[in-house]
Amino acid sequence: MAQTDRTQAGVHFLLITAWVAAVAVALMPSPATAKSVEGRFVAFGPGNWSCADAVAVAEGNHPGSQGKLDGFIAGYLTASNVILKNTYDIQAGESVSSARTAVLAFCAEHPGVNLANALAVHTQRQYPDRQSVPR
């Protein structure tokens, strides 16, 4: 396997790991969560960006990072579809760009939240309306 393929595979693994932690936290019905004693979890790559940074990237202030932002959002939603119970499409037929818009709107209102948590909030809001089977 080429170095680039191994690096990319490692990045994907880390992103999915961060996503699983974020979704687990978001879907917990009580204040008790599966985080550390201090109530923290680790997020890697764009998942660890502040919402302020994510909005800045979306506005074109860091054009080289646009693909990272969009890839993280798409990957997070894909992982939601794979991992969440009875979920075929967390977006219920809506596009990834509509999720991006919703997450960035949340981020604009909550600049100190990290992107992984913003996506956890988004998927938690989407969960009741998710698509469970293909149409």
The candidate with the shortest Cα–Cα distance to 81, out of 65, 92, 69, is: 92
**The pLDDT of residue 110:** 97
From CA 80, how far away is CA 20, in angstroms rounded? 8
Q: Is 133 exposed, middle or buried (0-12, 13-18, 19+ CB in 10 A)?
A: exposed
In tens, the pLDDT along 109-134 reads 999 999 999 999 999 999 999 999 98
Q: Torsion angle, CA of 67/133/127/97, rounded to 10 degrees?
A: 30
Q: Torsion angle, CA of 59/55/66/64, rounded to 10 degrees?
A: 80
**The pLDDT of residue 27:** 45
Cα dist from 83 to 62, 87, 89, whole Å: 31, 8, 11
CA angle 66, 8, 118 (to 5 degrees): 45
**The pLDDT of residue 68:** 95
Instruction: Give yes or no for residue 7 having a pLDDT over 60.
Output: no
Which phi and psi angles does 31 have, rounded to 5°?
-65, -20
**The pLDDT of residue 123:** 94
**The pLDDT of residue 64:** 86
In tens, the pLDDT along 13-71 reads 545 655 555 554 444 443 333 445 555 667 778 999 999 999 999 999 988 899 999 99
**The pLDDT of residue 19:** 52
For 52, the token pair is 């302020």
**The pLDDT of residue 54:** 96
Task: Give this prediction's pTM.
Answer: 0.70
Size of the chain, expressed as the number of residues it contains: 135
